[in-house]
Amino acid sequence: MYFIFYLTSKEIGNKYFKAKEFHKAIKFYSKALKNDKIDLNLYSILITNISTSWLALNNPIKAFEALEGLLNPIFEKNPHHFKGILRMTEACNELKYWEVSIMYGNLGLKIEPKNEILINLVDIAQKNQKITKILNSKDGFVLINAIEKMNKPKFENQLLNYFRHSDFKLEKQHLKN
d(CA 56, CA 61): 12
Given a contact cutoff of 8 angstroms between Cβ atoms, the answer to whether 114 and 123 are in contact is no
Reported as type and span, the H/E element at residue 66 is: helix 60-77
Taking only the tens of pLDDT, the chain with its 177 residues reads 443 344 688 899 999 999 999 999 999 999 888 876 777 778 778 888 998 999 899 998 888 888 876 666 666 666 667 888 888 898 889 888 899 899 989 988 998 999 999 999 999 999 988 888 877 777 766 766 666 666 555 555 666 666 555 555 444 334 433
User: How many other CB atoms are there within 10 angstroms of residue 115's CB atom?
Assistant: 17
Reported as type and span, the H/E element at residue 125 is: helix 116-135
d(CA 134, CA 113): 29
Q: Which residues contact 89 (CB under 8 A, 6 or more apart)?
A: 101, 104, 105, 108, 118, 121, 122, 125
